[in-house]
Chains A and B, each alone.
Chain A
Amino acid sequence: MDSRAFDEERPRAVAAVSSSGTAPAVRCMGVVKRFREPLEADEAEAERGWRERIGLLGRRSRPVEALRGIDLVVPAGSVYGVLGANGSGKSTLIRLLATLLLPDAGRLEVFGHDVVCEAAAVRRRINRVSVEASFFKSLSAWENLLYAARLYGLPPRAARERSAAVLERLGLPAQKLRARVETLSRGQQQKVAVARALLTTPDLLLLDEPTTGLDPRSKREVQEFLGEIHAREGTTILLTTHDMDEVERLCDRVAILDGGRVVAEGTVAELKLRFAGSESADMEEVFLRCTS
Chain B
Amino acid sequence: MHELSAGWGLLERNFHLIRRYLSWEAVDFFYNVVNAVTIALIGVRGGPSMVLYLLVGALLWNFLSIIFNEVANSVQWERWEGTIEYTFMAPIRRLTYLLGVSAWAVLYATLRTGLVLAVVALFFRMPLRAADLGAALVVLLVASASFIGIGLVAAILPLMSPERGAQATHIVQGALLLVSGVYYEVSALPVWLQPLSWLSPATYTLRAERAALLHGAGLGQLLPALGILVLFALVTIPAGYAAFRAAERYALRTGRLHRNG
Given that A100-B85, A146-B9, A151-B9 are contacting pairs, would A136 and B17 also be in contact in the complex, using a CB cutoff of 8 Å?
A: yes
Count contacts on A: residues with CB < 8 A to the other chain: 42
If A92-B259, A150-B5 are given as contacts, then 10 extra A-B residue pairs at C-beta distance below 8 Å, sorted by A number, are A89-B261, A91-B260, A100-B252, A101-B255, A128-B89, A134-B82, A139-B16, A150-B10, A151-B92, A152-B90
Task: Enumerate chain A interface residues (CB-CB to B < 8 A).
Answer: 35-36, 58, 86-92, 95, 98-102, 104, 120, 123-124, 126-128, 130, 132-139, 143, 146-153, 180
A35-B13 in contact (CB<8A): no
With an 8 A cutoff between CB atoms, is B170 at the interface? no
A135-B82 in contact (CB<8A): yes
With an 8 A cutoff between CB atoms, is B45 at the interface? no
Given that A151-B90, A153-B6 are contacting pairs, would A35 and B255 also be in contact in the complex, using a CB cutoff of 8 Å?
A: yes
Which of B81, B86, B88 is within 8 Å of A137, CB to CB?
B81
Q: Which residues of A contact B260 (CB under 8 A)?
A: 91
- Per CB-CB distance, the 4 closest pairs between chain A and chain B, nearest first, are A150-B9, A153-B2, A91-B261, A151-B90
Q: Which residues of A contact B86 (CB under 8 A)?
A: 128, 134, 148
CA distance A194 to B10 in the complex (A): 21
Q: Which residues of B contact A180 (CB under 8 A)?
A: 20
CA distance A29 to B51 in the complex (A): 68
Question: Which residue of chain A has the shortest Cβ distance to B261 in the bound complex?
Answer: A91
Question: Which residue of chain A has the shortest Cβ distance to B87 in the bound complex?
Answer: A151
Which of A92, A135, A143 is within 8 Å of B261, CB to CB?
A92
With an 8 A cutoff between CB atoms, is B83 at the interface? yes
With an 8 A cutoff between CB atoms, is B12 at the interface? yes
CA distance A7 to B239 in the complex (A): 46
Given that A58-B163, A132-B82, A153-B5 are contacting pairs, would A138 and B21 also be in contact in the complex, using a CB cutoff of 8 Å?
A: yes
CB distance from A169 to the nearest CB of B (A): 22
Task: Enumerate chain B interface residues (CB-CB to A < 8 A).
Answer: 1-2, 5-6, 8-10, 12-13, 16-17, 20-21, 81-83, 85-93, 163-164, 249, 252-255, 257-261
Question: Which residue of chain A has the shortest Cβ distance to B9 in the bound complex?
Answer: A150
CA distance A126 to B1 in the complex (A): 20
CA distance A148 to B92 in the complex (A): 11
B81-A135 in contact (CB<8A): yes
Q: Which residues of A contact B17 (CB under 8 A)?
A: 136, 138-139
Q: Which residues of A contact B90 (CB under 8 A)?
A: 123, 148, 151-152
CB distance from A40 to the nearest CB of B (A): 17
CB distance from A211 to the nearest CB of B (A): 16
CB distance from A157 to the nearest CB of B (A): 13
CB distance from B91 to the nearest CB of A (A): 4
CA distance A107 to B135 in the complex (A): 56
CB distance from A18 to the nearest CB of B (A): 25
CA distance A180 to B249 in the complex (A): 33
The listed residue with most B CB atoms (<10 A of its CB), out of A99, A127, A136, A146, is A136
CA distance A149 to B90 in the complex (A): 10
Given that A35-B254, A153-B1 are contacting pairs, would A147 and B13 also be in contact in the complex, using a CB cutoff of 8 Å?
A: yes
